[in-house]
Structure 1
């Protein structure tokens, strides 16, 4: 099945990336997990290898490769067992940078997208609010036009790269009385007066810096508007398809890593005179998890193929995240159990995997919200439309 989507060039890229991660990233993971701070040097190393510019135009220093190179990047990042580090990379490269590329002016792209591709700048996407959660349309952050500037007030929370990023892509209401039709997208430099951030302490994703950000009369030039005023909501919804697919791919990749590790452990762990991979109760559970894994992978690759061809796959990407994150949680729960007491020990990978995976059904839209979005599409006939710039 994979040969349908992955060429020999893709496999060479995977091998190169895997070697890079083992040499340059893995030796630092334990430190970053403990400190919650990723060394700044690694961003430039990613940039030098071209890994941050996989999906972006050559004009700005990118490689302009097909979506399956992105899939490989996501899958390999999950294999080093630090979802926090992985999230920092993909939140920069595929949340913040996606908006830069899609809605940014030429001036913004030349300054920020180019520097993001080299790793000289790190970005974050600020949508979720303390009182809104998954309710994007209910956001309270405002951007008021005053002459040639906008003045922004409000707050955002659960923002990956929210502390150490250099710039912020921020959603705010420019016309609050219009509800979700009055949202716009802005670029804000970190050092702009009035921007402050507080680091959040999390159950998992320990390596990533997740922040709550406040905007107190933050004044930015009108040229920092991304795309058209009041078009922010369709921009966000359009890019949600990519974000949800990313989280679906992350989920199937960590499921595969967990199962592979657990099978290796089971083939060496003996009980009652035989290795525990010989016990039918365990074998059949493994069979069930592998079946669900392959279904998710096949579905996710198909969505990626369609997205790469320009199809609007919001429904399918939403389904991907909903199903794949549940499959991951269920599989990793059982994998931890199969390791017995060792599964509960920090020196084994399942404890961290268990914590990190639990964010899957929450971040990027909770499973409950995703079910309602799917219900609106399949029951009520709701038809979400792509944004037009």
Structure 2
């Protein structure tokens, strides 16, 4: 009798020798051998503690993955403060560097749970932590999210406003009693389908979103709030969702940022989010590399280990070299943020705008490079491992296939890669402007002279056509040329640059049309 696919049972078919060699402890050992030399004793001790706890959670994590639940680890991680280490909390110091080291440990255990934790404890956690005047309900939410008792989802992306988040249309209204009402829909909210708390942005005036953007805390169960799960193949077990706000009204103590302040908080929150994503990317690269290096040295083909074949070893060598370089860059970004921005926020001080701009560009550079390479590295290792890399057994210590699936999403999360390039472009333009301002201005002046000369020649040509070729032109064309010439001269005399530019651009087209009329009329004769 033929079995239905849903009746077919999964089992552990993987070779025991490979399974033992690829266990989490061995993969951690490989990562530590490469990174411990560049870490301080405090950092090494912290990483060792995280890893020791995670090794004990392997069976629990595998069972959670089998059940499609990326959140089962939250309470376990929460007990050891392993959901976030970016912000200081409950006696634990916080920094971006510590967060990256946490990612290095958690991704190897469960890449899905790490992604969900970043959305909950970093994105939503930061929106609460960065509010210096937290109310009782906000403090309660922050504590439960950091302890893993609750899940958070942040509402930024909308159906027609993904990358263009600053022009969101979520309608927010503030009542006379200070209560806040939201109407609209957020989409692709990580954890949105299962979240207990929603930190969501809205605008009180959709025609002026930047100056009226605000941030509000909502809870599952608020009347009018509806969540639906979206199926994201690369994010198994993660409740990415669509969240609808249908006249959802909450009291004043839920406001996290008042109108106008929300815009600043949005951008201030994007940089640490991207730094956390960089950490996840670095962790994914090292985890993928650990799989490839270990497997290739115990898997034999043609009478020798795979690693003895240069087609395999050179691929891993390339990943190894780039992993080291990108890790150094990631730590540099983290250190800059911690010293120049994070520490000031933690002490209630306002960071220097120039420092915030600099680290925003660095974070964009890091996210662009590292998230892109994460996917490439995972893909190459999967190919190196052949069939072993393309399956994902529930009870297996191998998570390379899961890493590859999830790595495809990292370039989209926290701002699409093209958005990162736009930020990088602004940084490139800004830093060069500081060093070559005089040259730029000189080039602009020279360009203006050339354009003015071209305009003068076009005007002379137009005036000549109006005199010498008038009999071949229609009245409409003659009137248009005359008007444009007159407008350019008037705008130049009045120094009206806008009209001058507009009519200067219109003149060449009018000349082309006149030339066609003359040619057609002469040909007809």
Aligned to 1:50: 81
> d(CA) in 1 for partners of 2:139 and 2:414?
28
Alignment counterpart, residue 23 of structure 1, candidates 49, 56, 70 = 56
Aligned to 1:255: 285
> d(CA) in 2 for partners of 1:239 and 1:363?
14
1:1-389 aligned at under 5 Å gives the runs 6-24=39-57, 26-38=58-70, 42-52=73-83, 54-58=85-89, 61-80=90-109, 82-103=110-131, 105-107=133-135, 108-148=137-177, 149-311=179-341, 312=356, 313-347=359-393, 348-379=398-429
Shift of 1:119: 2.7
Q: 1:127 to 1:248 in 2, by over 3 A?
A: same
Shift of 1:68: 2.7
Shift of 1:163: 2.2
| 8 Å contact kept, 1:55–1:63 | no
User: CA-to-partner distance for each residue in 1:147-196, whole Å, 9 max, x for gaps?
Assistant: 22121011111112212222110011122221333211111111110111
| 8 Å contact kept, 2:203–2:259 | no
> d(CA) in 2 for partners of 1:282 and 1:45?
38
Instruction: Find the residue that maps to 1:320 and give its secondary structure.
Output: helix
> d(CA) in 1 for partners of 2:388 and 2:35?
33
**Between Structure 1 and Structure 2, which shows a larger proportion of helix residues?**
2
Q: 1:146 to 1:202 in 2, by over 3 A?
A: same
> d(CA) in 2 for partners of 1:117 and 1:23?
21
In structure 2, the gaps of 5 or more residues are 1-33, 342-355, 434-525
Shift of 1:5: 6.5
Shift of 1:382: 11
Instruction: Find the residue that maps to 2:331 and give its secondary structure.
Output: helix
User: CA-to-partner distance for each residue in 1:196-248, whole Å, 9 max, x for gaps?
Assistant: 10011111221221111000000012332213322212211111111111111
Shift of 1:131: 1.8
> d(CA) in 1 for partners of 2:132 and 2:172?
17
TM-score, with structure 1 as normaliser: 0.90
In structure 1, the gaps of 5 or more residues are 384-389
Instruction: Find the residue that maps to 2:207 and give its secondary structure.
Output: helix
User: CA-to-partner distance for each residue in 1:58-116, whole Å, 9 max, x for gaps?
Assistant: 5xx35234433222211111111x32211122222111011101026331443222333
RMSD between aligned residues: 2.3
> d(CA) in 2 for partners of 1:295 and 1:113?
35
> d(CA) in 2 for partners of 1:185 and 1:104?
14
> d(CA) in 2 for partners of 1:167 and 1:317?
27
User: CA-to-partner distance for each residue in 1:264-316, whole Å, 9 max, x for gaps?
Assistant: 11111222222121112222222211111111100000111111112421100
Shift of 1:355: 0.7
Instruction: Find the residue that maps to 1:152 and give its secondary structure.
Output: strand
Instruction: Find the residue that maps to 1:260 and give its secondary structure.
Output: helix
> d(CA) in 1 for partners of 2:291 and 2:36?
24
| 8 Å contact kept, 1:104–1:227 | no
Structure label with greater radius of gyration: 2
Q: 1:155 to 1:4 in 2, by over 3 A?
A: farther
| 8 Å contact kept, 1:36–1:209 | no
> d(CA) in 1 for partners of 2:223 and 2:406?
34
> d(CA) in 1 for partners of 2:66 and 2:211?
42
Instruction: Find the residue that maps to 1:115 and give its secondary structure.
Output: helix
Aligned to 2:478: none
Q: 1:65 to 1:368 in 2, by over 3 A?
A: closer
Q: 1:57 to 1:335 in 2, by over 3 A?
A: closer
Structure number with greater CO (CA < 8 Å, separation at least 6) is 1
Shift of 1:327: 1.2
> d(CA) in 2 for partners of 1:185 and 1:4?
42
| 8 Å contact kept, 1:115–1:121 | yes
> d(CA) in 1 for partners of 2:148 and 2:120?
10
> d(CA) in 1 for partners of 2:374 and 2:101?
18
Shift of 1:138: 2.5
**Between Structure 1 and Structure 2, which shows a larger proportion of strand residues?**
1
| 8 Å contact kept, 1:186–1:225 | yes
